[in-house]
Structure 1
Amino acid sequence: MNLDHLRYFVALSRTEKYTQTAKLLHITQPSLTKAIHSLEMELGVKLFKKNGRNATLTSAGKIFANDVESALLLLDKSVTNVKRFNQHKTPIRVASLRTLSIQWLPDMAQRFLQTIPSISAQFEFNTDTGLSPDILKGLCNDKYDIAFCSKLDNFSDIDFFPVAEQAMVCITPTNHPLSNRSSLNLSETLIYPQVTFSKRSGLYSIMEKLFNDCGGKPISAYDVEEDQAVAGLVASGFGIAVVPNMSILQTMPVKIIPLSFPNWQRILYMAVLKHRTPQPVVEEFITFIRNQNKSLSINNI
């Protein structure tokens, strides 16, 4: 049964006028008449009865018109859905620390899309948390496909691949006694109140090791979870702090002082589950990141 003939029939059933319907369909009236006659011959039943220049639906025609119109609507919807499916882009669900979300991760995602223009991918950036433990738990719970954060030892089912590094520096308010120093031994900070990292922060274990190496513990005036929050408190005069050398520090009223000892780099990682088989496009992005970061050369991110 000719699909065009069915569409012509539905159109004519609405107007019941051959001339008007032919114009709407952009065909000639004889072509329309021939199509309807062919359909009637195939069905073995009259669908219209002539009424002067008009065409009135027969009882059989009315039943057929309702059913055919419903069938064509369903067919058109199905065709639309198939086309959408063909155009569907596979989501790449990514979570990261905010320090990476400002520039590094968007730049990597854009480079990936530009390097492989035929890729059918749509990034979903998750920024609802800035803490490595929460990010890694979300990865384990299938909330994310890939995570970019600190490496934590209690996640044995996760593979960590280093992607970036940051030097650790001391920051002080601009009017602090240490603010005129060009470098510092970490032990020199021990006599001053500090803004430190809470145990939920991925930096907590790093800071604990640094202070153990210099033989002391900081005087903790406040402890918070995120490095940017630490910097904000220092800028407002709540103490000094040891933090990664983030680019945001350049925009804040703080003095950035390199550490002469201990010399330590904070390494940030791409995290993926060991036993999960990702979608092909997700696997391509993982491979892209690995190839881009075979050697660490990203500082002050």
Structure 2
Amino acid sequence: MNLNHLYYFVTLAHMEHYTNAANELSITQPSLSHAITSLEQELGTYLFEKQGRNVVLTKYGREFLKYVEESLGTLESGIKKTKMLTSETSGYIDLAFIYTLGTRYVPQIVSQFLKENEEKNIKFSFHSAATTDILRGLKEEKYDIAFCSKIENEKEIEFNPIGKQELVVIVPLSHPLAEKTSIDLKETIDYPQIFFSKSSGLRPVIDNLFRQIGLSPTILYEVEEDGALAGLVAENFGIAVLPNILILQTLNVKILNINNPLYTRKIYMARVKNKYLAPVIQQFAKFVQDQNEINI
């Protein structure tokens, strides 16, 4: 079924006159007549009948008109939405990020970007998750772009460094280690620990730190989200290694710098390789990439 023929049908249905409808559509009257005849032949029924010099819809034409107008309305809405999403001045960005970035970095970078693009109609949808879930979501097109850890051997994902996080040890205020301001990681080995779950991009990093010192900690609990981990430490469930995030300053924990082994965790902007991104998403990615690597 020819899409133009449907538009012709709707116009004729409302104007009820072939010559006037043809003029409105900027086509010849024979072309309009041919289009309507083709539609009627395809449907196997008459859509119009003569009434003096005019034409009016038949019973079946009136029924068909309801569906055609609804369908064309939906199509036009889809066209408008697609153009909006892929224009230079408006669009929608599905942004995913690891939990540790939700308190400060993401709100700040998005706010800065929007301030520099106040004249544009750009909206964000925010999603926080563990790195493995984020990368899966990127590949499944749930997210457009993401901030997370780098996972080796991810051939479909492009990683670009955007910042770094310092890892620290946190202990309850009543803990024996709370008297210190910094420690070697080996000093934590006698105390039960709370670890990130295996889905976290931080888990292999922390596992590797303990491998470097040749020791294995006692892991009592595993959690996915950094806020929950810090909360458990504050309530004496154990001690933990995690990024030095803003929320730690609001909890009853002591933050200890790690002297050895030294490690700075890099944070990356991730996106699917060779995948088309709408203009506003490309603009945001460039904005983030143009910032100097910072402590996040």
Query: So what's the TM-score if we normalise by structure 2?
Result: 0.71
Letter in 1 for 2:267: L
**Does 2:107 match 1:110?**
no
Question: Quick one: which amino acid aligns to residue 286 of structure 1?
Answer: A
Q: How does 1:171-210 map to 2 (within 5 A)?
A: 171-210=170-209
CA distance in 1, matches of 2:150, 2:81: 39
Cα drift, residue 264 of structure 1: 1.1
Show the 5 A alignment for 1:1-301. Answer: 89-127=90-128, 130-292=129-291, 295-299=292-296
Contact 1:119 1:281 in 2 (8 A): no
Q: Following TM superposition, by how much is the alpha carbon of 1:63 offset from its aligned partner in structure 2, in angstroms?
A: 7.9
Q: Is the 8 A contact 2:103 2:246 kept in 1?
A: no
Pick the structure with greater CA Rg.
Answer: 1
Q: CA deviation at 1:198?
A: 2.6
Query: 1:259 and 1:114, CA in 2 relative to 1: closer, same or farther beyond 3 A?
Result: same
Relative to structure 1, the CA distance from residue 63 to residue 269 in structure 2 (aligned partners, 3 Å threshold; closer, same or farther) is: same
- In the alignment, the residues of structure 2 paired with residue 157 and residue 220 of structure 1 have an alpha-carbon distance, to the nearest angstrom, of 33
Letter in 2 for 1:220: I
**What secondary structure does 1:178 align onto?**
helix
**Which secondary structure state, in structure 1, belongs to the residue aligned with residue 174 of structure 2?**
coil
Contact 1:234 1:240 in 2 (8 A): yes
Q: Which runs of 4+ in 1 moved over 4 A?
A: 59-67, 80-88
* Cα displacement (A) at 1:83: 7.4
How far apart in 2 are the matches of 1:297 and 1:213? Answer: 26
- Aligned-partner Cα distance in 1 for 2:177–2:104: 30
Q: What is the percent sequence identity of the aligned residues?
A: 38
Instruction: Say which SS state the counterpart of residue 165 (structure 1) adopts.
Output: strand
* Superimposed CA distance per residue, residues 23-72 of structure 1 (whole angstroms, 9 cap, x where no aligned partner): xxxxxxxxxxxxxxxxxxxxxxxxxxxxxxxxxxxx879986999xx89x
1: distance between equivalents of 2:210 and 2:82?
55
Residues 84 and 91 of structure 2 are in contact (CA less than 8 Å); yes or no, is this contact kept in structure 1? no
Following the alignment from structure 2 to structure 1, what is the Cα–Cα distance between the partners of residues 177 and 117?
Answer: 49
* 8 Å Cα contact 2:104/2:246 also seen in 1: no
Offset, 1:87: 5.9
Shift of residue 131 of structure 1?
0.7
For the residues of structure 2 that align with 1:229 and 1:84, how far apart are their CA atoms? 39
Give the residue type in structure 2 aligned to 1:107: Q
Q: Aligned residues, how many?
A: 248
> RMSD of the alignment, in Å?
3.6
For the 8 Å contact 1:120–1:281, the answer to whether it is kept is no
Q: Distance in 2 between matches of 1:194 and 1:177?
A: 14
Letter of the structure 2 residue corresponding to residue 239 of structure 1 = G
For 2:197 and 2:80, locate their aligned partners in 1 and report how far apart those are by CA, in whole Å. Answer: 51
Shift, 1:149, TM fit: 0.8
**Unpaired runs of 5+ in structure 1?**
1-6, 8-58
User: CA offsets, 1:279-300, max 9 Å, x none?
Assistant: 12211111111001xx32224x
- Deviates most, 137-146 or 226-235: 226-235
Kept after mapping to 2: 8 A contact 1:169/1:259: yes
Deviating more after overlay: 227-236 vs 172-181 = 227-236
1:116 partner amino acid: N
Q: What do residues 212-251 of structure 1 show as CA deviations (whole Å, max 9, x unaligned)?
A: 2222111112222222222111111111111110101011
Change (3 A) 1:254 1:64: same
